[in-house]
Amino acid sequence: MNFEVVVTCAVTGAGDTTSRSPNVPVTPKEVAEAAIDAAKAGAAVTHLHVRDPETGQGSRDPKLFKEAVDRVRDSGTDVVINLTAGMGGDWVPDQDNPAMPGPGTDMINAEDRLSHVYECMPDICSLDCGTLNFGDGDNIYISTPPTLRRMAELTLEWGVKPELEVFELGHIRFARQMIAEGLIADPPMFQICLGIPWGADQSVDTMKVMKDHLPQDASWAGFGISRMQMPMAAAAVAMGGNVRVGLEDNLYLDRGVLATNAQLVTRAVEIIERMGGRAITPQEARNKLNLRGANG
């Protein structure tokens, strides 16, 4: 059981969710406001994507990230900033010639995947630790070992903590290899990502198996998507982990009731408190995760 829980709120993501809920933030101003509201509700960490303000689609434009991050920082709200570094790994084979990229492909090198991280210098950035069939279509998310090693080298050099996002056991295996090679600063930080087709299923058994494969000194969090968001949050706390909630992973507070990010954080905090724990502050999270600015 974890009695001192780091709550992360992933406020928007890059998926096609804007048409399904008016509460999904799109502009940098909306993303920043969602992050601030989540922090006020009890989130110690906010995980940020940005979207094209015109189309609502996910974007990796460093200027949009910089505006969102600056708005959060300028607000005076204390919250740990965690930026996605998962954009730029999408491969969709052409229907007529699968050897060539088709519409939707967006493949860039390691340095470009981290250009916005260098621009903003957040506390944390995500590092998706392997390749995955992403969804039921032809979309493949690609993160090769050389790309991941280079991204790990850069984040280590900059002092940005990589959140090692793992979608199945092979991702944990490679993350442990990078740790053994000295590419990840101690203590390593993992995010167990459950329910995304076709990664690991979202169940208590799956979470425990993946947790048991983590390094002994690792800090970790877990999340599930859609209606399993809160059950997986409770399971993570019971197993000694931290939690992630937010509209990136789930749009609903209750059946048929659209949520806001702040409402999802409030619900997660209530669950943690009913289990006898508490959601810790951003500064306590920095100290616990050994982030830049730890120990005050």
Domain extents in the chain: 4-289
Tell me which of 3.20.20.70, 3.40.50.1980, 3.30.360.10, 3.40.50.1100 is the CATH number of domain 4-289.
3.20.20.70
pLDDT in tens, 150-172: 999 999 999 999 999 999 999 99
pLDDT bucket at 294, cuts 50 / 70 / 90: confident
Query: What is the predicted pLDDT for the residue at 23?
Result: 98
| Mean pLDDT rounded to a whole number for the chain | 97
Tens of pLDDT along 37-57? Answer: 999 999 999 999 999 999 999
Q: Residue 38: which H helix or E strand, with range?
A: helix 28-41
Distance from the Cα of residue 194 to its chain's centroid: 12
Alpha-carbon distance 212 to 58, whole Å?
A: 33
The pTM (predicted TM-score) of the whole model is 0.96
Residue 153 and residue 114 in contact, taking contact as beta carbons nearer than 8 Å: no
pLDDT over 70 percentage in the chain: 100
- 293 or 247, greater pLDDT: 247
Interatomic CA distance for residues 243 and 5, integer angstroms: 7
Q: Give long-range contacts, CB 8 A cutoff, 24+ apart: 203-207.
A: 204/235, 207/232, 207/235, 207/236, 207/239
Task: Say yes or no to pLDDT of 139 above 70.
Answer: yes
Report CA 188 to chain centroid distance, whole Å.
15
Predicted pLDDT at 295: 76
Q: What is the mean pLDDT of residues 97-120?
A: 96
- DSSP codes of every residue in 211-250: HHTS-TT-EEEEE--GGGHHHHHHHHHHTT-EEEESTTT-
In sign, the C-alpha dihedral spanning 180, 184, 188, 194 is: negative
Average pLDDT on 71-95 reads 97
How much is the pLDDT for 251? 98
For residues 148-160, one letter each, b for 16 or more C-beta atoms within 10 angstroms of the residue's C-beta and e for the rest, the string is bbbbbebbbeeeb
Q: Taking the mean position of all CA atoms in its chain, how far away is CA 6?
A: 13
Residue range 95-111: mean pLDDT, rounded: 95
Give me the mean pLDDT over the 51-72 stretch. Answer: 97
- Which SS3 state, helix, strand or coil, does residue 20 take? coil
Q: Give the whole-number percent of the chain exceeding pLDDT 90.
A: 97
Q: In angstroms, rounded to a whole number, what is the distance separating the alpha carbons of residues 160 and 210? A: 24
Residue 296 has pLDDT above 70, yes or no: no
In whole angstroms, give the CA distance from residue 63 to residue 120: 10
